[in-house]
Amino acid sequence: VGGGPIPPALLDRAAGAGVPAVTTYGLTEACSQVTTGGPALFCTRVRIDDSGQILVAGPTVAPAAAAADGWLHTGDLGELDATGVLSVTGRTADTIVTGGENVAPAEVEAVLAAHPAVAEAGVYGIADPEWGERVAARIVLRPGARATVEELGEHCRVRLAGYKVPKMFKFSSDLPKTKSGKLSRRSMEG
């Protein structure tokens, strides 16, 4: 899978079938790979700026793509742990700003996807005159599964900061996707 995060359900299917899978992070401007499930690859440097954006530098970064200081601003959000292992949390363009707080939809989607009744979840922002945006979620349930808005809200409340909990849930038979299979956040409200 390339071009986006691998859905947890696909990782589970691979594990269930005995197929080893390793998550990696990379982008074309950095010769494809930056990490392979651990610290940055040889000669590659990774850091997180004050906004949470992943920056990459090194000889594999295309000079035309890097800023004057040599760092490539990826447009991806992430965190580095104490050992230098990178976790990608979302895209800067997808960030929901609610009441001045930033919410990465991928973080909320992962929490929702961990609910036993949820097959897929898509999280997006909807305009709000008081908060700027409100967090909303579109949910696809597993065949035969049931869940209520209250159950999903409680599931999120015990795992997320209050401002990250969706204020609106919408149940759906599917999520809108692009031709390449990525979640189409622009089409979520429909």
Q: Which residues contact 59 (CB under 8 A, 6 or more apart)?
A: 43
Q: What is the β-pairing status of strands 132-141 and 168-171?
A: parallel
What is the fold of 95-187?
GMP Synthetase; Chain A, domain 3 (3.30.300)
- What are the sequence ranges of the domains in the chain? 8-91, 95-187
In the predicted model, what is the mean pLDDT of residues 129-146? 96
pLDDT at residue 88, as a whole number? 86
- How confident is the prediction for the chain on average, in pLDDT? 91
Query: Is the pLDDT assigned to residue 1 strictly greater than 60?
Result: no
pLDDT at residue 190, as a whole number? 62
Q: Which residue has the tokens 């490539």?
A: 72
What is the fold of 8-91?
Luciferase; domain 3 (2.30.38)
Q: Report the percentage of the chain scoring pLDDT > 70.
A: 95
Cα–Cα distance measured from residue 99 to residue 97, given in angstroms and rounded to the nearest whole number: 7
In the predicted model, what is the mean pLDDT of residues 35-54? 90
At 97, the amino acid letter reads V
Query: Is the pLDDT assigned to residue 36 strictly greater than 70?
Result: yes
Cα–Cα distance measured from residue 146 to residue 11, given in angstroms and rounded to the nearest whole number: 23
Could you tell me which residues are beta bridge partners of residue 171?
Answer: 139
Q: Which residue has the tokens 């949390």?
A: 89
For residue 52, give the nearest of 79, 72, 25, 31 by alpha carbon. 79
In the predicted model, what is the mean pLDDT of residues 63-80? 93
Query: Is the pLDDT assigned to residue 65 strictly greater than 90?
Result: yes
Range scoring the smallest mean pLDDT among 21-35, 117-131, 141-155, 161-175? 21-35
In the predicted model, what is the mean pLDDT of residues 157-168? 97
How confident is the model over 90-105, as pLDDT tens digits?
888 889 999 999 999 9
In the predicted model, what is the mean pLDDT of residues 50-63? 94
In the predicted model, what is the mean pLDDT of residues 5-10? 71
CA 159 to chain CA mean position, Å: 16
Q: Please, what is the end-to-end C-alpha distance for the chain in angstroms?
A: 27
Cα–Cα distance measured from residue 150 to residue 35, given in angstroms and rounded to the nearest whole number: 39
Q: What is the β-pairing status of strands 168-171 and 72-80?
A: unpaired
- 183 versus 115: the higher-pLDDT residue is 115
Question: Would 8-91 and 95-187 be classified into the same CATH topology?
Answer: no
Long-range contacts of 50-55 (CB under 8 A, 24+ apart): 51/92, 52/77, 52/78, 52/79, 52/89, 52/102, 53/77, 53/78, 53/92, 54/78, 54/86, 54/88
Return the structure tokens found at 116. 């036993």
Query: Is the pLDDT assigned to residue 18 strictly greater than 80?
Result: yes
